[in-house]
Each structure stands twice: as structure tokens, then as C-alpha cells.
Amino acid sequence: MNGNGSGRTITLTWNHDVTIATVGLINGYAKVDPATAVHRYQQERRIVQVTWSIDGHEVAQQSLADADPNPQSVSLPKPVSGKRVVLRIDAVTAPGDPGHNYTAISEIEVTGANG
């Protein structure tokens, strides 16, 4: 999205209950421009804090390393069942390059209790 994504949410839904043990994400645009070989991750905003909820119940707050373009995950204290996972962006960095003022997520991971 354009600009600061703080306060925005992404909702994942299933048509039946799933049991979730870990959640995580890649907290920025972790891509390399194929034409110029420029790493876009440091140019744009990176997400540094999120809150995860399952079926309306907050289950985890996650702090993310600003300089790590790899998946970062958090294990829930105990597996939780539900049909809806909401990821809320709580805080982001300033853009590394003023010409690239975007908040991105390259990947979201939700792992079940059985892997």
C-alpha cells in the first residue's frame, strides 16, 4: 500500500476451523529488481510491530527485526482454533528512500499444530 500502513489489517479466512500454532511474515518488499539488481527491501518501509488475532481474540504481538528480509514467526503460547486470522500492522519504519514510500508484506505464514 502507499505510505504508512500502521493501523491497517489483513484478514485470512477459512470455511472451517483450523488449529494454528505459529504465525509470521516477511515484513517488507523483499525483492530484487531483475533489471537493475537493486534490493528493494531497504528502500521501502518495513513493518516492525504487528498484532495477531484469531476469531476476534488477540493471540500474539510480534516485534520484527527491521533489517531481516526473511520470514519471522512467533509461536502461540498454545495452539488456537478458529476460522479467521487478522494481522494488524502496529508500527512501520520510515521509507529508506523517499521515492519509495510504501508498506509491503512479501509473505504471510500460518502453520497448523501438526505442521
51, 102, 60: which is closest to 80 by C-alpha? 60
Residue 62 lies in a domain: yes
d(CA 93, CA 56): 27
CA atoms of 83 and 29, how far apart (whole Å): 27
Domain count, the chain: 1
What pLDDT is attached to residue 114? 72
What nine digits make up the cell of 51? 498484532
Per residue in 6-50, pLDDT (tens digit) is: 999 999 999 999 999 999 999 999 999 899 998 899 999 999 999
Note the pTM of the prediction, 2 decimals: 0.93
* Residue 113: pLDDT over 90: no
For 40-86, what is each residue's pLDDT tens digit?
A: 999 999 999 999 999 999 999 999 999 899 999 999 999 999 999 99
**Which three cell numbers mark 85?**
486470522
Q: Range of 32's domain?
A: 9-112
Q: What are phi and psi of 17, to 5 degrees?
A: -65, 140
* 31: in domain: yes
